[in-house]
Structure 1
């Protein structure tokens, strides 16, 4: 007789990374579908294109966000030796949250093209909510890896995932702040935060612990 079949309980990360790359590629492709030629009269194409600037800004913010997710994902799984069932589920949670991005991007782009300020506020809050959910998903994933050193490469820095929890928490706080400011003060201020935040995450994609004072 043989023992219980534990196949799939733990595995190398190759299939997980390939699946994740495919999902992120689809998400980043869906973002561009919201960019359409303007419905402008003859001779007014330039003004029509310029009037669509909210769509361009929303696209840039979301494209940069997905790009940062991809960089984070690579940096994370480069330090993982094997994946267990818990890690696979949390990775799916990150992908689920990322796959939501095209929806609030379209909502935000559409609302900013209209003069109704109430719709703009709701659209910014909706985008911020997805940002909070995605950052929270990373926070849970990093916390799991910080508690399961047996899944990590022997060369993985022991402070990496502990410090990355702070980095994810910054995202939760700042996206929530962007939503609150965008809803209560100005939607354009919220949009500005959405554009700037991926810059921070792009600069720190190799790990927050490498920056001072974390490198000490």
Structure 2
């Protein structure tokens, strides 16, 4: 064997951290979107009262969706924070991460079991056992990458490493208790979730929150993009103007984290929009003539296609508002990440609400279901805007306070329109749907007028 072959065979490469990060976020976004596909809509031909009764009767599926979202969302937040500080990825870390992602994608299956067989203890065991193994692999990834600073900066604060390891351990501990309690059904499983919440609260109170502030020279390694560096300098200057001290290294990390949060959000929006079209299916029966096909397409135009375009317009506008809001956001914190996850949880429900609306557009129950889902998504987005702009918390101090106040008030128009349409839908579903379009069109006209006035 030649020297060249020996070098080649002994070479152990480091993997592209940004690519691993982006791939992982895409899998998380797909998994969150997939959990909604378990929601079912009854066949057409039932009455409004039967539709309302069916939707109410499906509460176990909705509750299991919430549980699945908590499991996937909390795992993503831990994964997100870990990859803020990882500077390289080796082969073992890559495979641990892939195992973690395989379990993330698996979560929708036990969630469906739980939603369909919520009266059987085995359904709770399957769900919590999956969450337990997922938590164990998440904790393993944290311990492997941080052990002796294997894949993180050597100068990273040891307090952060210790705190983060404990945070990663809370998830499998809580789900272990839930798995054992699941043998006794829902009450036993609920105990584990209480342990999870209480453990997280105690951990935050006991250990606090440790900021990540590595040495600045490590941020200027070869090949680093210049844009995050410029933004970090701006964050630091503006913080000092406001009387706060943010070291440049911390500002850099805040700047870089925002890019990943936005990428993850865009992935979920993209998959939610794509899922909207899955309910459009070709005819199942025999089509013997062109007239038969024309008849099928004419019946499909209303309400299927109209419902699809309505859902696409609302999800697209939500993404548009999300995009506009984050243009002024310059950094992130834990509450912003958590609030954005809550917003995405409601966005992921929009394909189901659209399917209900397109199947029963003339029923009050269908219009109310869509209005509540869209209202929750737009309201959570408005709450994010209020949080980041109040006191210039996460936005530039150079933006006038009056402009931020106007943005906050305008953000209340979409959720107000959807909420107000609920009582209208009880007597006139079509008028309630027109109310949505009118409010959104009015908001667009006002913004155009404001932009031309400013220009």
- When the two structures are superposed, what TM-score results if normalisation uses the length of structure 2? 0.40
User: In the aligned structure 2, how far is the partner of 1:180 from the partner of 1:212?
Assistant: 27
Once the two structures are TM-superposed, the CA of residue 85 in structure 1 deviates from its matched residue by: 1.1
**Stretch of structure 1 that moved more, 146-155 or 58-67:** 146-155
User: In the aligned structure 1, how far is the partner of 2:42 from the partner of 2:186?
Assistant: 23
Retained in 2: the 8 A contact 1:143–1:162? no
Q: Which structure 2 residues correspond to residues 88-99 of structure 1 after superposition, within 5 A? A: 88-99=94-105
Once the two structures are TM-superposed, the CA of residue 196 in structure 1 deviates from its matched residue by: 8.5
List per-residue Cα deviations over 1:56-103 (Å, max 9, x = no partner): 000011112212222211100001111111111111121122121011
User: In the aligned structure 2, how far is the partner of 1:188 from the partner of 1:36?
Assistant: 26
Instruction: Assess, with a 3 A threshold, how the Cα gap between structure 1 residues 22 and 97 changes in structure 2: closer, same or farther.
Output: same
List per-residue Cα deviations over 1:142-177 (Å, max 9, x = no partner): 211231414213563323333333333332222122
Instruction: Assess, with a 3 A threshold, how the Cα gap between structure 1 residues 26 and 142 changes in structure 2: closer, same or farther.
Output: same
Match of 1:17 among 21, 29, 42: 21
User: In the aligned structure 1, how far is the partner of 2:154 from the partner of 2:57?
Assistant: 53
**Stretch of structure 1 that moved more, 9-18 or 158-167:** 158-167
Q: Which structure 2 residues correspond to residues 89-168 of structure 1 after superposition, within 5 A? A: 89-112=95-118, 117=119, 120-153=120-153, 156-168=156-168
Retained in 1: the 8 A contact 2:21–2:83? yes
Partner of 2:207: 214
**Secondary structure, aligned partner of 1:213:** helix
Instruction: Assess, with a 3 A threshold, how the Cα gap between structure 1 residues 198 and 105 changes in structure 2: closer, same or farther.
Output: farther
- Please say if 1:58 is aligned against 2:57: no
Retained in 2: the 8 A contact 1:143–1:161? no
**Secondary structure, aligned partner of 2:87:** coil
Q: Which structure 2 residues correspond to residues 66-77 of structure 1 after superposition, within 5 A? A: 66-77=72-83
List per-residue Cα deviations over 1:12-70 (Å, max 9, x = no partner): 41110011011111111110101122469423111111110000000011112212222
Q: Which has the higher contact order (CA 8 A, sep 6+)?
A: 1
Instruction: Assess, with a 3 A threshold, how the Cα gap between structure 1 residues 33 and 128 changes in structure 2: closer, same or farther.
Output: same
Once the two structures are TM-superposed, the CA of residue 197 in structure 1 deviates from its matched residue by: 4.3
- RMSD between aligned alpha carbons? 2.9
Instruction: Assess, with a 3 A threshold, how the Cα gap between structure 1 residues 82 and 181 changes in structure 2: closer, same or farther.
Output: same
Retained in 1: the 8 A contact 2:177–2:191? no
Retained in 2: the 8 A contact 1:91–1:141? yes
Unaligned runs of 5+ in 2: 211-455
User: In the aligned structure 2, how far is the partner of 1:166 from the partner of 1:132?
Assistant: 15
User: In the aligned structure 1, how far is the partner of 2:40 from the partner of 2:195?
Assistant: 24
User: In the aligned structure 1, how far is the partner of 2:12 from the partner of 2:46?
Assistant: 58
- Please state which structure has a larger fraction of its residues in helix: 2
